[in-house]
Structure 1
Amino acid sequence: MAEDRTPGLLNGKFRFKKLPDGSFDKTKVVCTFCSDELSFHRSTTSLKYHLRAKHILADVRKDASAATASTSRARQRTLAECSRPTPVNKTTSAKLTNSITKWIAKDCRPISIVQDRGLQDIIQIATGDLSYQLPSRGTIVTRMHELYDSEKAKKLSQLSEGTFIALTGDHWTSVSNQNYLGVTAHLVDDNWHLHSFTLGVLKTEERHFAEACASQFLDVANEWEITDKVTTIGTDSAPNMTAAARSLPFEHIPCVAHIIQRVIAMAFRDSGFDSVLAKCRKIVGHFKHSPANTAELKALQVSHGLAEESLVQDVPTRWNSTLEMIRRLQHNKDPVSAALAQQKHKLAMLTSADYDRLAKLETLLEPCRYITELLGGEKYVSCSVVLPALCHLLRTMEVSDVDPAYIVRFRQRGEVWQKLSVMLKDGEPAPQSSGAVEDPEPPKKKMALLMMGSESESDDEAVSTDKCLERYKGEPYASIDTCPLQWWSAHSGAHPKLAHMAKRYLATPASTVPCERLFSLAGHIVQKKRSALSSENVNKLVCLSNWLKEEDVV
């Protein structure tokens, strides 16, 4: 076959149009990729636009093959070649897929987001590769399972290194009316850092009898191989959960925040605040159920120089909602009164005496709010030192008049020191030293003890325990804002036995707030549009989101 000697442009990507008589039309060119005919007027700008718009990949491949064929004559790249975007290679594409998978799992995004054209446009602009295609849903699901397996292996290794592990658990019902048991683990590592992460959100189909709940907790502990390390289990005070916890070989720690709220609810029944609280609820409902009434209230708030804010309706299951309702009504006393005076209603108005009673009630509820937020806030770890005082010592010692301010630091209470001494002698094992094992006591010392009339070596152990407690009593007082983990990190060497005990109890949170937050996270995953998610995917998505966010905090 004769060689084609048709004159070309742009390295042969375009050729002049050949006429029937064998001559060439210098005003027309033909694209060698798509055979489109283009006009040519001594400028290749329009031809380059054509290549970038329709044949970017073909153009790159042809340039690469041309460069390979002409390796013997190396040349500098032209400005047009330098400005041309480079396609995403396989390594970068794999990194993008992994990042998208991690983003979906961490931020509770739906897997179907990979089908959004907008996301694809963003990544194409960011990479400069207009041919990039997002991974399919099947690819994301596969990578999600692989990510879960790798992250679970990390958590298993972390649990295997822990000495004491505390569990918290509670039940949750999704929008699709499916019930799940959420379980979280808490442990203090050798560096005195507390780690809290999810062990699972397991679907339950049987009734929540005590035996079933206990079996579910044991299944989780056995799956993660931590049955022999679990020390405490925290739940709410529901009768079935309390009975289930009592049947387990772990110490039950009822949620302190739940107990406080139950005490408040029971106290309201026998108090004289029922009538004034009923008035408050009806007034708040009057504005909540009418957008027009709410708009008038906000306009009056602005006219009185106050910020626009909605009134709060108290809910029995929402902590501190009664206090917030009282506060909002007192703060907006004038706008509320003015709005009700302009509207038609049959509400009983709050009198000056009622507002005085609300002010007294606010004073009574404020300490409860402080304790609830202290025990259930983001820094609940820093106040977990309250736990052995409120939940362990008070219950085992049956002491009802102990000042919590003293119990927090195990100070200035004879009962506390006595119980602590007993725990050191009998209940708590001695810490295992990682160094050389101490030599057994020389026979001469034993003989000397016998000659001195000592009944046994228990007397020597009692002296050692008393010395440990005396050294601890001599430590300077720490402020209430001091993190106990940081304190023990600096003083664990001076008090090895007490440090071993502290690591056990400081790992247990005083409330089940970690599970409550877990269910808030699960609510973002199991939505109305994702109500058909399988229980396996729900468990893995919730765990991944919790684990990945916990790694960021660390």
Structure 2
Amino acid sequence: MSEYNVVDPPSGNNEVPIGTRKEPVNASDKQPRPRKKYAKRAPIWQHFLQKDEESESEGWKRFCFNIFPLYKPVSKRTCSGDIVALYLEENAALKHLFNVEKQRVSFTTDIWTSSTTSCNYMVITAHWIDVQWKMQKRILSFKVVTDHKGETIAGQLLDCLDEWGIDKIFSVTVDNAKNNDKALENFKDRTRLRGGESLVCDGEFLHMHCCAHILNLIVGDGFKKANYSIVSIRNEVKHVRSSFSRLRSFSMRCETGRVCRGSLPLDVNTRWNSTYLMLSSALKLRVAFERMVVEDKLYCDYFEEVDEKTKAKRFGPPTSSDWDEAVSLVKFLKVFYKSTLAFSASKTVTSTLCYKEIVDIERNLNYMCTSLVEDIKMQAYVMRDKFEKYWNGLNNMNSLVIVGSVFDPRNKMCFASLCFDQLYGKGSKRGKDVHAPVVSAMESLYEYYTSRLSQPIDITVPTTSVPIVITDISDDDDGEMMDSLYSQLVDVRRNEVGCSELQIYLSEKTEVRVENALGLPYDVLSWWRCNSSKFPILSELARVILGIQVSSMASESAFSTSGRVLDSYRSSLTPYMVEVLICTQQWLRCSYKSEAQVTSLVQMLEEIDFLESLGKFN
């Protein structure tokens, strides 16, 4: 019997002859299709499957208990309470540290606006070198601010000093916004009222401009209008990265051209350092891109299409002259990229490297202004104008940028003098005009620390041969009174004008620049730790100068973490809880508490056995 039944046609004008229209049998009479069989899963998946008789929460508890037998579910209230308790514990330990060591600290600060909550958060990070000559960094405040005005920023800085009991501050590093200039002027005026030791030299060296932000402005102005070479290379990178088939086709050209494909990153138009990384990676694969022009027709057709954004034909593919211009551009940008990495470091000393990088940038700009490539020459002139706005001598530059390089024992004043001669000419008036304020700044700083750390001792040396009668000699006296008198006399002479520690340090030979056998950078702090007994006053000055951060990247790095905390799933967190999470995370990473070290032979053997068992299991 057929599976179709004959039905009568419907009444109406459009009649259909009988037997020409058929309807399927009722769907319930058909046999259901068998379900698709999935591949066999591991037994571990049984823990993830929810049973019919249990709820979702019960299934989660069962899973956690099976996978982690010691797991105990906790409520949100308990979890937040434990985090706050840990925050308060670390907070008290850090306040005790500030009260005991009485260190003079330097601040970096910045403001960030959350995209999920639209709240403005101001972060304040403290930097100092502890008694063990180790660089320390702590986030002290991550609070909501109502606006970006100077009075608001200054008020937050003062509140941070009061909250943590910090009495001494050396410098504050901020970006180049005008509201920050007003904020630090207000902060300086109100900090003077706290006492004579709150600021050094009446806050003359308080304001430190962020060098990374200045460098970004310099390069950004030069690349506002990207040239044809950059856009054409960017388009071909977009083509290769747009689909898997195109990437596979490009990989085949890399293999035939005998080049390693490696990574081929896309760049962001507003970030020049990403453009540098994109160009440097593309230049290594130039052979493969040139093969794509000859062998891949779809690659050539891509540049004949109209771009959706520009509504014009796409630039490219790059010609041989475009690749040559990219080579010159990468060499030009390499100096800026290297300087950005040096400025952005927050866990190492950056004040000793800052002026070297500035001089390298200025010399390269002067050289590129004479380039034969017209685009690069025009860009160099634009960057040169912006450079002179911020780093033209000491007009807008904090003199600590140059003083910091002097406190590198490999440089001292010889390196700064060489830079002045190379930039302004040997013996030129402009070089002398820059040299004099640097020396004056070092002398004023040294005099400030000398007046507060040294204690003048009045030692009267007898001019006659009358013997000194000493009475009341205790039994516990070791009889070394002449040694103590001589030590006091040496301290007095060391504080004389002609024999100051600063002059002794500058007159001695510089340390030899020898590359570390392990490839590690030179440790300036270790040298000062070893020579702190030789220069007791100067070493205290070096401690605060080397602790300065030349960029505010240390504070900006907290915003990358806060973006993961204040995402769309946690937008209801209170400002206090956000600060607790951000600060506690950073404090635990930099905590003084050290974990127990494996010292005994038994523990070492147990660890070896454990690693071997893992290898057998794998």
Q: State the TM-score, normalized to the length of structure 1.
A: 0.66
CA distance, structure 2, for counterparts of residue 547 and residue 189 of structure 1 = 16
Name the CA shift for 1:537/1:399 in 2 (closer, same or farther; >3 Å).
Answer: closer
Which amino acid in 2 is paired with 1:148? Y
User: Does the CA-based 8 Å contact 1:257-1:511 persist in structure 2?
Assistant: yes
Name the CA shift for 1:221/1:259 in 2 (closer, same or farther; >3 Å).
Answer: same
User: Does the CA-based 8 Å contact 2:238-2:266 persist in structure 1?
Assistant: no
How far off its partner does 1:423 sit?
A: 2.1
CA distance, structure 2, for counterparts of residue 441 and residue 398 of structure 1 = 44
SS class of match (1:233): strand
1:440 and 2:458 aligned? yes
CA distance, structure 1, for counterparts of residue 287 and residue 320 of structure 2 = 12
2:342 paired residue number: 374
1:221 and 2:175 aligned? no
SS class of match (2:349): helix
Which amino acid in 2 is paired with 1:239? K
User: Does the CA-based 8 Å contact 1:312-1:328 persist in structure 2?
Assistant: no
1:365-393 deviation per Cα after TM superposition (whole angstroms, max 9, x unaligned) = 112222221232465x2333235887999
How far off its partner does 1:155 sit?
A: 1.1
CA distance, structure 2, for counterparts of residue 138 and residue 248 of structure 1 = 39
User: Does the CA-based 8 Å contact 1:431-1:497 persist in structure 2?
Assistant: no
How far off its partner does 1:323 sit?
A: 1.1
1:324 paired residue number: 277
The one of 440, 465, 473 aligned to 2:507: 473
CA distance, structure 1, for counterparts of residue 113 and residue 577 of structure 2 = 16
How far off its partner does 1:545 sit?
A: 0.6
Name the CA shift for 1:175/1:552 in 2 (closer, same or farther; >3 Å).
Answer: farther
CA distance, structure 2, for counterparts of residue 529 and residue 268 of structure 1 = 37
1:261-320 deviation per Cα after TM superposition (whole angstroms, max 9, x unaligned) = 2222223459xx72322333333444455565445434544554423533321342x462
1:3-39 deviation per Cα after TM superposition (whole angstroms, max 9, x unaligned) = xxxxxxxxxxxxxxxxxxxxxxxxxxxxxxxxxxxxx
The one of 534, 547, 562 aligned to 1:494: 534
How far off its partner does 1:474 sit?
A: 1.0
Structure 1 unaligned blocks of 5 or more: 1-111, 446-456
User: Does the CA-based 8 Å contact 1:387-1:508 persist in structure 2?
Assistant: no
1:318-370 deviation per Cα after TM superposition (whole angstroms, max 9, x unaligned) = 46212112112212223334446432223322111111111111111112222
1:310 and 2:264 aligned? yes
User: Does the CA-based 8 Å contact 2:346-2:554 persist in structure 1?
Assistant: no
CA distance, structure 2, for counterparts of residue 116 and residue 501 of structure 1 = 58
Name the CA shift for 1:430/1:190 in 2 (closer, same or farther; >3 Å).
Answer: farther
CA distance, structure 2, for counterparts of residue 371 and residue 299 of structure 1 = 37
1:536 and 2:576 aligned? yes
Identity of aligned residues (%): 21
CA distance, structure 1, for counterparts of residue 125 and residue 403 of structure 2 = 31
CA distance, structure 2, for counterparts of residue 501 and residue 406 of structure 1 = 12
The one of 287, 306, 309 aligned to 1:334: 287
CA distance, structure 2, for counterparts of residue 429 and residue 496 of structure 1 = 10
How far off its partner does 1:458 sit?
A: 12
1:211 paired residue number: 151
CA distance, structure 1, for counterparts of residue 103 and residue 402 of structure 2 = 30
CA distance, structure 2, for counterparts of residue 217 and residue 181 of structure 1 = 10
How far off its partner does 1:246 sit?
A: 3.6
Show the 5 A alignment for 1:298-447: 298-305=251-258, 306-316=260-270, 318=271, 320-339=273-292, 341-343=296-298, 344-345=301-302, 346=304, 347=314, 348-377=316-345, 379=347, 381-386=348-353, 395=394, 409-412=411-414, 413=416, 415=435, 418-419=439-440, 421-424=442-445, 426-430=447-451, 432=453, 439-442=457-460
CA distance, structure 2, for counterparts of residue 405 and residue 505 of structure 1 = 10
User: Does the CA-based 8 Å contact 2:253-2:288 persist in structure 1?
Assistant: yes
Which amino acid in 1 is paired with 2:544? R
User: Does the CA-based 8 Å contact 1:424-1:497 persist in structure 2?
Assistant: no
CA distance, structure 1, for counterparts of residue 591 and residue 63 of structure 2 = 29
The RMSD of aligned alpha carbons is 3.7
CA distance, structure 2, for counterparts of residue 406 and residue 163 of structure 1 = 22
CA distance, structure 2, for counterparts of residue 377 and residue 527 of structure 1 = 27
How far off its partner does 1:536 sit?
A: 0.9
How far off its partner does 1:499 sit?
A: 0.8
CA distance, structure 1, for counterparts of residue 214 and residue 398 of structure 2 = 17
User: Does the CA-based 8 Å contact 2:355-2:402 persist in structure 1?
Assistant: no
CA distance, structure 2, for counterparts of residue 369 and residue 259 of structure 1 = 13
User: Does the CA-based 8 Å contact 1:431-1:500 persist in structure 2?
Assistant: no
CA distance, structure 1, for counterparts of residue 89 and residue 591 of structure 2 = 14
SS class of match (1:201): strand
Name the CA shift for 1:220/1:297 in 2 (closer, same or farther; >3 Å).
Answer: farther
Which amino acid in 2 is paired with 1:179? N
User: Does the CA-based 8 Å contact 2:110-2:124 persist in structure 1?
Assistant: yes
Provide the aligned length of Structure 1 versus Structure 2.
414
1:179-222 deviation per Cα after TM superposition (whole angstroms, max 9, x unaligned) = 2111111111112111101112112233x122222222222222
CA distance, structure 1, for counterparts of residue 395 and residue 462 of structure 2 = 41
1:551 paired residue number: 591
CA distance, structure 2, for counterparts of residue 427 and residue 396 of structure 1 = 24
CA distance, structure 2, for counterparts of residue 237 and residue 117 of structure 1 = 56
1:238 and 2:187 aligned? no
1:169 paired residue number: 109
1:274 and 2:227 aligned? yes
CA distance, structure 1, for counterparts of residue 170 and residue 402 of structure 2 = 25
User: Does the CA-based 8 Å contact 2:184-2:207 persist in structure 1?
Assistant: yes
CA distance, structure 1, for counterparts of residue 317 and residue 402 of structure 2 = 43
